[in-house]
Amino acid sequence: MTMTLMVRTCRPPLVDGDQPTYTIAAAARRVGRTRRTIRRWLDDGMPHRIVAGMVVIDHWDLLDAYRARVTEKRRNFRMI
């Protein structure tokens, strides 16, 4: 008997690449962090692109980075 592992992803299928994008300031507002924090995430490797000289972050890339950091903090949290 073969077991199949089903992996669910939080990303819905894209329709013609239609998804919100954010500047650094808009991304910071979206996840409730500072622009400095978003820049740090970019330096740490969060996917982004440069369009007309501006940093553009896709919606799902931003949320993936946010979720990764939230779950990392929860794992490192200890009760004293």
The domain limits of the chain are: 21-76
CATH for 21-76 is 1.10.1660.10
> Is pLDDT of 53 > 70?
yes
Average pLDDT over residues 41-61: 95
pLDDT at 30: 95
**Is residue 29 classed exposed, middle or buried when 0-12, 13-18 and 19+ CB atoms within 10 A define those classes?**
middle
pLDDT at 70: 85
pTM: 0.70
Task: Please give the residue that has the higher pLDDT: either 41 or 6.
Answer: 41
